[in-house]
Amino acid sequence: MLRIIVITLTFAVLWSIRWFWFAGPNQAMIEKWVEGGADIAAYSDIRQVGFPNRYDVTLNDLRIANNDFEIFETDVLQIMRLAYRRDHFVLAFSNNIKIVGQNIKTSQNRASIVRQENDVQRVVWEADDFALDNGATIKHGQLAIIVPPNDREITLYLQLSEIAQNGMVVHENAKIQIKVLMQSAPDTSTLANFVTSLETGFISAQISNPDDPEQIKQLTEFRNIGGITSHFPVLATLLN
């Protein structure tokens, strides 16, 4: 019995040392990626918890903007991963977020980032009970983004359910696949580099297998996209 206790305590001490050993580099990695040597992102504070099995980094009052162009804003962003899985991050946002100047309310708002085989990055964002400023609502939405390494083509999969305007359901379900061709492979080394590469790198976009071309128009026409088309020209083609 004493031997079991000693082994258990030794393992607990070693695991604790391991957690604290990697906690600092984990937070530093996230801070470096978000700040990235450019004035793109700002937040009020950052903290890390999660001992003993996770690393949970929380950024409060996060705002991402390029000069006067506001890209994203959330009161809280949590970036979580298991201590033994370095290539899988789970993100949780506050229920009220702002994307390109538009307020979006949700009941749940989460995402995951996974580095798969051959360094392919898969980003999945999903939320329930969307409510937009203009009265449009979406019961559930999911956006998946596939970013291959050193590849100029990004693939997006968008799935929406129960899209309503003025309380009336316009579409029960919509599934869209978009392939975006860029001047060069997107630079994901830092947030600033990623934003810059997206702004300047678009060549074209192709929507494949839409259920109905008229549906694509109705899905997008109620969105007030503001100045985003001047920063991301491909969206002018997609949304007009």
pLDDT of 213: 62
pLDDT at 78 over 90: yes
Least confident of 49-58, 59-68, 117-126, 162-171: 162-171
Q: How high is the pLDDT of residue 124?
A: 93
What is the reported pLDDT for 209? 57
Q: CA dihedral in degrees (171, 91, 96, 71; nearest 10)?
A: -90
Q: In which region does residue 239 sit, left (phi positive, over 0), alpha (psi from -120 to 50) or beta (all else)?
A: alpha
Predicted pLDDT at 219: 54
| 210 pLDDT above the threshold of 80 | no
Structure tokens, 104 = 């979006």
Q: How far apart are CA 82 and CA 154, in angstroms?
A: 27
Pairing label, strands 137-147, 168-182 = unpaired
Question: How do residues 138-157 score in pLDDT, each as one tens digit?
Answer: 899 999 999 888 888 889 88
The dihedral formed by the CA atoms of 229, 234, 239 and 240, expressed in degrees to the nearest 10? 80
pLDDT in tens, 10-42: 766 776 777 778 888 999 999 999 998 888 999
Note the pLDDT of residue 232.
46
- Strand spans (E) along the chain: 41-42, 45-49, 54-66, 69-82, 88-93, 96-99, 102-105, 108-115, 121-132, 137-147, 153-165, 168-182, 202-208
Domain ranges of the chain: 2-239
- Mean pLDDT across the chain: 81
pLDDT tens-digit series, residues 91-112: 999 999 998 888 889 988 899 9
> For the residues 182-209, what does the mean pLDDT come to?
81
Residue 139: predicted pLDDT: 92
How much is the pLDDT for 37? 80
pLDDT tens column, 38-76: 889 999 999 999 888 899 999 999 999 888 888 899 999
**Structure tokens of 2?**
């004493």
The pLDDT of residue 235:
44
User: Is the pLDDT at 238 greater than 50, yes or no?
Assistant: no
Q: Among all chains, which residue has been given the structure tokens 């949970």?
A: 56
Q: What is the pLDDT of residue 60?
A: 96
Give DSSP secondary structure letters for 32-97.
Answer: HHHHTTSTTEE-SEEEEE-TTTEEEEEEEEEEEEETTEEEEEEEEEEEEEETT-TTEEEEEE-SEE
Residue 22: CA atoms inside 13 Å, Cβ hemisphere, count?
18
Q: What is the pLDDT of residue 97?
A: 92
CA angle 8, 86, 56 (to 5 degrees): 75
- pLDDT for 110 equals 92
